[in-house]
Amino acid sequence: MTGPLTPEDPSQPLHHPGGDAEQAQKLVKRVLDWYKASLAGARAGGHDPAEVNAWRAARDQAVDDLDRLEDADEDETVQIALLYAARLKELTES
């Protein structure tokens, strides 16, 4: 058994500043795109109004979270990224 994983070049950090924020933004934007497409499709009718309202609220929250990322520290950025990765998986698998 070998020891813990380390970067090939120990002088390089394991965490790259800005990388988490960029990934989190991409995830939030992908979720936003899903809500926008779903809401556009809902305009044709046939969707439960409560579900459409839930999509609107979730879309609005995603917009707020995207704005929050601009000033978020590392921990908050990672939390947002994890939340939206899970949400994207849930939305695309249903």
How far apart CA 51 and CA 61 sit, in angstroms, is: 15
Looking at residue 11, what is its pLDDT?
Answer: 54
**Residues, the chain, total?**
94
Is the sign of the CA dihedral 30, 23, 87, 67 positive or negative? negative
Q: What is the pLDDT of residue 5?
A: 39
Q: Interior CA angle at 79 toward 76 and 83, to 5°?
A: 140
- The distance from CA 14 to its chain's CA centroid, rounded to whole angstroms, is 22
Average pLDDT of the chain to the nearest whole number: 85
Q: So what's the pLDDT on residue 6?
A: 43
At residue 27, the pLDDT reads 97
Domain boundaries, the chain: 19-93
CA dist., res. 68 & res. 83, Å (int) = 14
